[in-house]
A and B are shown apart, each in its own frame.
Chain A
Amino acid sequence: MNKIKTIIIEDEELSRELIKNFLKDLEDIEIIKECENGFEGIKAINELDPDLVFLDIQMPKLNGFEMLELVDQSPEIIFITAHNDYAIRAFEMNAVDYLLKPYSKDRLISAVSRVRQRIAAGHDKSHPEPDRDDTINRLIRQPLGDNLNRIVVKSGTRIRVIPVDRIIYLEAQDDYVMIYTDEGKHLKKGTMNHFEEHLDADSFVRVHRSYIVKIDQVSMIEPYSRDNYIMKLKNGAQIRVSRKGLKNIREKFNF
Chain B
Amino acid sequence: MQNPLLNNRSSIVAYFLVWLIVICVHVVLSSLYAGIPVHVAIGEGLTVNVLFAAIGLGLWFPVFYGKPAGEKVLNFIIRHIFACLSAVALWIVIQYVILYSMFGSETGYMDYLKRSIPWKSVTGILYYWLIILVYYLLIYYTNMKNSLVKEARLETLVRESELNSLKSQINPHFLFNSLNSISSLTLIHPEKAQEMIIKLSDFLRYSVANKDEKLTPLHEELENINRYLDIEKIRFGKRLSVHQIVDDMALDMKLPGLILQPLIENAVKYSIYENTEPASIELVCKPQPDVLLITVRNQYDPEMKQKQGAGLGLQNIRNRLKIMYDQEDLIAIRKEVNTFEIRIVIPQNKSV
Contact = CB atoms under 8 A, between A and B. Distances in A.
Interface in B157-180: 172-173, 176-177, 179-180
Given A61-B301, A147-B308, A82 B184 contact: no
B201 interface: no
A129 interface: no
A60 B273 contact: yes
B341 to A, nearest CB: 21
Nearest to A147: B308
Nearest to A161: B303
A14 B232 CA distance: 12
B183 A102 contact: yes
Interface in A72-105: 82-83, 100-103
A251 interface: no
A49 interface: no
Interface string B178-201: 011111110110000000000000
B304 A150 contact: yes
B181 A149 contact: no
A13 interface: yes
B176 A101 contact: yes
Interface string B228-272: 000000111100000000000000000000000000000000001
Nearest to B239: A11
A18 B308 contact: no
Given A149-B305, A163-B303, A164-B305, A101 B179 contact: yes
Given A61-B304, A146-B308, A161-B304, A18 B276 contact: no
B177 A101 contact: yes
A61 B176 contact: no
Interface residues of B, number: 28
A103 B181 CA distance: 11
A180 interface: no
B236 A12 contact: yes
B308 A36 contact: no
B350 interface: no
Contact of B173 (A13, A83, A149, A165): A83
B308 A149 contact: yes
B184 A15 contact: yes
Contacts of A37: 276
Given A21-B187, A83-B173, A147-B308, A15 B303 contact: no
B226 interface: no
User: Which 4 A/B pairs are nearest by Cβ-Cβ distance?
Assistant: A18-B184, A101-B180, A82-B176, A163-B305
18 contacts: A11-B276, A12-B236, A13-B237, A14-B181, A14-B234, A21-B188, A36-B276, A58-B273, A60-B275, A61-B274, A61-B301, A61-B304, A82-B180, A102-B176, A102-B182, A149-B308, A150-B305, A163-B303
Interface of B: 172-173, 176-177, 179-185, 187-188, 234-237, 272-276, 301, 303-305, 307-308
Given A60-B273, A82-B173, 11 more contacts: A11-B276, A12-B235, A17-B188, A18-B184, A21-B187, A37-B276, A82-B176, A82-B180, A149-B307, A150-B304, A150-B305
